[in-house]
Structure 1
Amino acid sequence: MDYTKKIIYQSNYWYNDGLKKAQIRDMSGAVLSLRRSLQYNRGNIAARNLLGLVYYGRGEVSEGLVEWIISKNLKPRDNIANYFINKVQNSASKLETINQAIKKYNQCLSYCAQNGEDLAVIQLKKVVTDHPSFLKAYQLLALLYLHTEQYAKARQVLKTARKLDTTNEMTLRYMHELMNVRGKRNRKAEKNKKGETVEYHLGNETIIQPKNSAIKELAGHFTVMNILVGAAIGAAIVWFLIAPAVNQSKTESHNKEILEYSEQINSLESQASALQKTLDNYRASGEDAEADAQTAAQTVESYENLMAASSQYDSGSYSEDVIADTLINVNREVLGESGQARYDELTGNIYPRACDIKYNAGNESLEVANYDNAITQLSAVVRMDESYDNGGALLNLGLAYMGNGDNDNAITYLKRLTELFPDTDKAAEAQANLDTISQQQAAEDGNTEE
């Protein structure tokens, strides 16, 4: 099975699905599909660029920039992500406006936690004006309108939010709640209306007239008293309501001034660290993108080598040592479940015989002082089976490096032998050679000092 083609096919399938959803403003669905596309192939540049556009389209500018920066690191040239990044960076004033809008949104969350819904509503109106595509701000504003029973305003805000993302779960949940509340209010009004009328049947005709109440019948008898009571109530309203309203107006004006000063202070405090934070984010994104690129390249290379080794094995035209040279370059950890199963099957069938062939060839080269070929053959044996011949492969590989004048690698493999097989004849021989290398290095150091 061509695993690479299968992975690329799945990635492209989910990219096309995300593109269709983005075209009908189904942003939430598009995000899910595009993320799945990138799970199959992190190097799918089109999917990553489109994901950045979807984030940007619903007001999440920083998330969009992250995706474009990763895309740029994966493909520095001929990449439309460069255009998107430059366009955002060149609009410094717009970027600063968006940054301030996000800070105000976060401040609104604090107001809500402190029961300051009125301040939060005022602030959120400014946020959606400055940043018209900020979906989360519309949702929070609608929630506050629902909480304060301003249902008409909530409905208007939710309609705008749904235009930004037609299937967002949070927006749909708020709309459902609004419909439930309106239904209850309509049923209550209908019930009250029914209670205020009386129906009479006269022949085949039905006559509906308002229901007379005891209060209405008595109203005519107490007209003068009602006028006097009304005058008294008017005087009380002047004394108890108008005067406090003036004081409340002054208090609200003072609160607005405090809010404006607070915003200015927060803005000044954040400006000092904003550039440094942005730079840190770019650096972190660059490092993550580089790691993703290396992992993607390693995954593709491992699948290609696995498929090549599988084809060689199935053809029956290649010896085990030749197939092993291909299979040895496969990293099992980056393979999927089916890929790992195939890898284990091949290594189980090929490695034992390949080790025998390469071990014998390496020993023959070592005996005739062909150290380069001995290192090549024995290194492959150690990579396939480190404990082959109870440490014989490690011992002979260390001796080949000694003969080639590479004492650093010789020490590495000889020490590994003493760790894996202590108290054996091979370990004793390895230690004797380590002592020889140590004596040679000490003599060389003495000559250098003289």
Structure 2
Amino acid sequence: MDSYNKIIRVSNALYNDGLEKAKVRDLSGAIQSLRKSLQYYKANTQARNLLGLIYYEMGEVVDALSEWVLSRSLEPKGNPAEKYLEEIQSNRSQLNAVNQTIKKYNQALLYCQQDSRDLAIIQLKKVLSMNPGLVKGYQLLALLYMEEGKYELARKELWAATEIDTNNGTTLRYLREVNICLQESHSKLGRKEKEESASYQSGNDTIIQPTNFKDNSAVMTILNLVIGVGIGVLITCFLVIPGIQQNAVSQAKKAELEANDSLTTRNQEIKSLENQIQELEKQIKEQENDSKDAQKIVDSYEQLIVAYDAFAQQNIQGAGDTIANVDPKLLGTQAKAIYDSLNTQVNEQYINAVYAQAEQDYRSNRFPEAVTGLEKVVQAEEDYNDGYAIYYLAQSYRQTGDMENAQKYYQRMVELHPGTSRARRSQQYLDEMAAQQPQ
């Protein structure tokens, strides 16, 4: 029991630590503490409910639902998880939004694998507009911006993620990389501007102009205009028109991808949900087995305490009846020692007390009660009191009409004590019962 109570205390301490971290929006740290709490004691529904709320806050709705379903199965009555599940299930628009979020996020991942960063960015923006708390969505969008060198946009997304989860390790690592890249970019830009500028003195004024400045004449100006027009025509022919064609091709590919998007995402969603259902069923089964084992341990300790109390009050029969329900394999070292000592002291006195009561019931014609007591005595010591226990048991069964058991114990009487008057009477009863049986 000390070990069991210690495990409960450790689990509750980790739950309290997770609650404190959640209050300051250190959601990642809170998740770690709550998971450790559940490793110590899986049936800690407070920790499981709080973990579900944190997952929901971070946009991980499926993980939140999983924790609440497990919590409800462990504690069906008076559990706040029931209210959380009802609120989500009753709001069809919210459920649809969750499904769309999962679908679009998976599609964004698929675009990333296909190196279609532009389409992935568009998809992630839709995801975050539907689920503004999805931390991993901000992280993936920032990573795409970093790949394209758009560090300011990446930093903006990462700051949005830190407002939800202040101490997320992945977010902080990305943010540090972005700040380093921005510092390097600013220093390079400063050097370039310095190199591309020149200055000269005009009276008391300093004039700054680009180093490549040229003072073109009128002829050069006209020539430049002609060249510019020619270049514009060439750009139109070689860049703009192919660009329009390329854009049309890109739009066609995009339409094709969107046409296949529904089928691909649906298959992925179905597979993901099937895996989640299997995992939930496995966890529920483990929780049920753990709960049953824990209940067996508690029941054995309770039966041992009741038996000890009965023995202390000189209720030997009550102590013997109760200690028979104790499973010594489930007891700790100290409790096992108490059980062995108590069982040794109770056993002999218990048989004597049970037999005395059963014999009194037999002589008072209370045969069903006599059967109950004598069965206990014979099971513990078959030839108790020189075979009288067997003989009285056979007689009691015959009086209650149970001829099958009566015949069984008359036969044992004849085998164990041949030549005695009880054996001869037993044989007479056996012969009578044999004669009454149909041929």
TM-score, with normalisation over the residues of structure 2? 0.66
Please state how far the C-alpha of 1:131 moved relative to its aligned partner: 2.1
Deviation string, structure 1 residues 90-138 (Cα, Å, up to 9, x no partner) = 1123212212221221222222122121221121111112222222222
Q: State how far apart, in whole Å, the 1-side matches of 2:292 and 2:279 are.
A: 20
Q: 1: CA distance between counterparts of 2:257 and 2:224?
A: 46
1:372 to 357, 372, 376: 376
Q: Read off the aligned partner of 1:150 and give its amino acid letter.
A: K
Matched with 1:434 is: none
Quickly say closer, same or farther: Cα 1:376–1:232, change in 2 above 3 A: farther
Paired with 2:135 and 2:325, the residues of 1 have a C-alpha distance of 51
SS state at 1:97 partner: helix
Structure 1 CA distance, aligned partners of 2:51 and 2:297?
Answer: 22
Q: How does 1:279-358 map onto structure 2 within 5 Å? A: 283=281, 286-298=284-296, 329=327, 343-344=332-333, 347=336
Match of 1:257 among 255, 258, 265: 255
Cα distance in 2 for partners of 1:33, 1:301 equals: 31
Residues 52 and 88 from structure 1, CA distance in 2 versus in 1: closer, same or farther, beyond 3 angstroms? same
Give, in angstroms, the shift of residue 295 of structure 1. 4.5
Name the residue aligned to 1:171.
171
Change (3 A) 1:267 1:211: closer
Aligned residues: 364
- What SS is found at the alignment partner of 2:29? helix
1:116-127 to structure 2, matched below 5 A, reads 116-127=116-127
Deviations 1:67-109 (Å, cap 9, x if unpaired)?
1112212221111111001011111232122122212212222
Cα pair distance change 1:345/1:31, threshold 3 Å: same
User: Which amino acid in structure 2 is aligned with residue 87 of structure 1?
Assistant: E
Greater relative CO, 1 or 2 (CA 8 Å, sep 6+): 1
Distance in 2, matches of 1:234 and 1:38, equals 69
- Aligned residues: CA RMSD: 4.8
1:198–1:208 Cα contact (<8 Å) kept: no
Q: 1:48 Cα deviation (Å)?
A: 1.5
Q: Percent identity?
A: 34
- TM-score, length basis structure 1: 0.65
Gaps of 5+ in 1: 313-320, 333-339, 379-398, 406-446
Task: Return the letter of the residue paired with 1:254.
Answer: A
Are the structure 2 counterparts of residues 42 and 273 from structure 1 closer, same or farther at C-alpha, using a change threshold of 3 Å? closer
> Residues 273 and 191 (structure 1 numbering): CA distance in 2 closer, same or farther, change over 3 Å?
closer
Distance 1:13 1:374, change over 3 A: farther
- 1:66 equivalent to 2:66? Answer yes
Q: What is the Cα deviation at residue 259 of structure 1?
A: 2.5
Provide closer, same or farther for how the CA distance between residues 7 and 62 of structure 1 changes in structure 2, counting only shifts above 3 A. Answer: same
Letter in 1 for 2:8: I
Residue 247 of structure 1 aligns with which residue? 245
Contact 2:301 2:326 (8 Å CA) reproduced: no
| Partner-residue secondary structure (3-state), 1:132 | coil
Q: What letter corresponds to residue 256 of structure 1 in structure 2? A: K
Change in CA separation of 1:353 and 1:279 when aligned onto 2, cut-off 3 Å: closer
Q: Distance in 2 between matches of 1:150 and 1:274?
A: 33
Q: What are the ranges of 5 or more consecutive residues in structure 2 without an aligned counterpart?
A: 310-318, 357-372, 383-389, 403-436
Q: CA deviation at 1:325?
A: 5.1
1:356 CA drift (Å)? 6.4
2:107 touches 2:261 (CA, 8 Å); kept in 1?
A: no
1:236 is displaced (CA, Å) by: 2.1
CA distance in 2, matches of 1:373, 1:239: 110
1:151 aligned to 2:156? no
Question: Are the equivalent residues in 1 in contact too, given 2:18–2:31 (CA < 8 A)?
Answer: yes
Deviation at 1:277, TM superposition (A): 7.5
Could you tell me which residue of structure 2 aligns to residue 97 of structure 1?
Answer: 97
Q: Displacement of 1:23 after TM fit?
A: 1.8
